Amino acid sequence: MYDRAAKGERAVLVQTVRAGDSDAAARLDEFAELAASAGASAVARVFARVDTPNARFLLGTGKVEELRELKLANDADLILVNDTLTPVQERNLEKFCECRVVGRTGLILDIFALRARSHEGKLQVELAQLKHMATRVVRGWSGLDSQRGGSIGLRGPGETKLELDRRYLRGRIQQLQERLDKVALQREQTRRSRQRNAIPTVSLVGYTNAGKSTLFNRLSGADVYAADQLFATLDPTLRRIDGLPSGPFVLADTVGFIRDLPHDLVAAFQSTLAETRDADLLLHVVDAGDPERDQRMADVDAVLAEIGAAELPQVLVFNKIDTLDDAAPRRDDVEGGRQPRVWISAAQGLGLDLLREAIVEQLGRDRVRTMLHLAPEQGRLRARLYEAGVVQRETPADDGGWALALDAPRTRLQALFGLGDGDGGFLRGALAGVAASHGAE
């Protein structure tokens, strides 16, 4: 076995191409940006046709030979493949090319490790990395077959170094998961507190490098790090916004999305993505000058569907209009005003008033403010309403029950309609004739 190089900055980029692919060049350009974000310098690029994946290398044997020659000719010490590699394929490519080979998932994980700053972010990234690594613990160095044992009471085959590494990984993964569960509980308690106080949450979502953090700074007056690079911001940031007619709301800036986002990352970042899943409104930020913007929007919608946020109301924010010719701030209303499109430049502060108007309207739209009477035997439903954060205040009723003042988006109340034990049906019937509020009271 070769010894893996400690360096890894001169990289050969490999873009796989399958039948029907029409955007391979664009995907390779984005992959090159990912590589640069990780600190790698692309010294060569190559396209590889993969109609039937090779079980040994993913690529065809002829392409693998070409790849090794490219690596030698360019003095590269790293090969980055824009595709999913199995552990066997990754190991075989490393052995044949005698250098480190990293797939798309491994590269994104490496960037996330660079960007994580908060305690929670570091835990989430480490968990995702270890889950990815757990299937790739191989003979990357010598001495893996050494045995423990030999002393009195410990003789016998013992455990190989490989088995010990796997046991360590399993233990560390469990430890990280327990820590993240505690963080998730703390986040949930904070979120419920905001909901009980009827403070809505507006979450910024969008493709990475669409300008979410710059917009967050403009709207909140914060100083969150923003840069023209993929995944410049990883850790979530929340700020309370006051001074609008609709009342205060919490603005959340979260990690940007990307096509083919690794599932391990989605799983590890559940507590962070909960700020998006439980938001009252999404600001879907789009790079207006991106030639691939329609595909980018579809990729973001796919991730939103994966985390259960596809049905949340959205404002489409077409950012970076300063990169377009003769573009001016404007607002386009579609679907009867239910999904406004606002054209802005966060960097230059253009169109922000139009965006604030759209936020105020959407937060007031379909918001239910009503009184609900519960009988004494409906204590379980009362507890569920409090848990959902839809109760603003409560007064005791003459019959021993409760009069609850509800204040919440209709979508949050509708999520309770599926409750069992008759609670969901009762709630649906009680709210059937309640009109939604439009605008702040």
Judgement on whether residues 226 and 323 belong to the same structural domain of the protein:
yes
* Six token digits for residue 292: 């691939």
Give the Cα separation of 183 and 179 in Å (integer). 6
**Does residue 15 fall inside a structural domain?**
yes
Print pLDDT tens along the chain (441 aa): 444 444 558 999 999 999 888 889 989 998 998 898 888 999 999 999 998 899 999 999 999 999 999 999 999 999 999 998 998 999 999 999 999 999 998 888 888 888 777 777 788 788 888 888 877 765 444 444 444 444 444 444 545 666 777 788 888 888 888 888 887 777 777 766 665 566 788 999 999 889 998 999 999 987 765 555 566 556 668 888 888 877 788 898 877 788 777 766 676 666 567 778 878 899 999 999 998 899 899 989 988 888 888 888 899 999 999 999 888 999 998 766 668 999 999 999 999 999 999 998 888 776 788 899 999 999 999 988 887 778 888 999 999 999 999 887 777 777 787 777 788 888 888 888 776 655 444
**Does residue 135 fall inside a structural domain?**
no
Judgement on whether residues 294 and 326 belong to the same structural domain of the protein:
yes
Q: What is the pLDDT of residue 196?
A: 58
pTM of the model: 0.71
Cα–chain center distance at 295: 17
Q: What CA–CA distances, in Å, run from 284 to 74, 151, 299, 314, 349?
A: 41, 63, 12, 6, 17
**Does residue 147 fall inside a structural domain?**
no
* Burial of 212 per CB tally in 10 Å (0-12, 13-18, 19+): buried
Give the Cα separation of 28 and 47 in Å (integer). 9
**Does residue 217 fall inside a structural domain?**
yes
Judgement on whether residues 211 and 321 belong to the same structural domain of the protein:
yes
Give the Cα separation of 24 and 118 in Å (integer). 35
Judgement on whether residues 233 and 325 belong to the same structural domain of the protein:
yes
Examine the fold and report which residue of 112, 145, 167 is the final residue of a domain before the chain moves on: 112
Judgement on whether residues 349 and 396 belong to the same structural domain of the protein:
no
Judgement on whether residues 332 and 372 belong to the same structural domain of the protein:
no
* Six token digits for residue 131: 């889950």
Judgement on whether residues 350 and 392 belong to the same structural domain of the protein:
no
Examine the fold and report which residue of 364, 384, 402 is the final residue of a domain before the chain moves on: 364
Cα–chain center distance at 120: 14
Which residues 6+ apart lie within 8 Å of 122 measured at CB?
A: 116
Judgement on whether residues 260 and 300 belong to the same structural domain of the protein:
yes
The answer to whether 204 touches 285, Cβ cutoff 8 Å, is yes
In CATH, what number is assigned to the domain containing residue 372?
A: 3.30.70
Judgement on whether residues 335 and 390 belong to the same structural domain of the protein:
no
Q: What is the tally of structural domains in the chain?
A: 3
Q: What is the pLDDT of residue 197?
A: 60
**Does residue 146 fall inside a structural domain?**
no
Q: What amino acid is encoded at 171 in this protein?
A: G
Judgement on whether residues 319 and 373 belong to the same structural domain of the protein:
no
**Does residue 314 fall inside a structural domain?**
yes
Examine the fold and report which residue of 60, 95, 112 is the final residue of a domain before the chain moves on: 112
Domain of 332 in residue numbering reads as: 197-364
Q: What is the pLDDT of residue 152?
A: 47
* Burial of 343 per CB tally in 10 Å (0-12, 13-18, 19+): buried
Judgement on whether residues 31 and 104 belong to the same structural domain of the protein:
yes
**Does residue 327 fall inside a structural domain?**
yes
* DSSP per-residue letters across 164-176: HHHHHHHHHHHHH
Question: From the CB of residue 159, how many other CB atoms can be counted at a distance below 10 Å?
Answer: 14
**Does residue 226 fall inside a structural domain?**
yes
Q: What is the pLDDT of residue 5?
A: 46
Q: What CA–CA distances, in Å, run from 138 to 6, 109, 208, 230?
A: 17, 19, 33, 30
Give the Cα separation of 227 and 234 in Å (integer). 12
Q: What is the pLDDT of residue 146?
A: 46
In CATH, what number is assigned to the domain containing residue 338?
A: 3.40.50.300
Judgement on whether residues 392 and 404 belong to the same structural domain of the protein:
yes
Q: What letter does residue 58 receive in the DSSP assignment?
A: B
In CATH, what number is assigned to the domain containing residue 62?
A: 3.40.50.11060
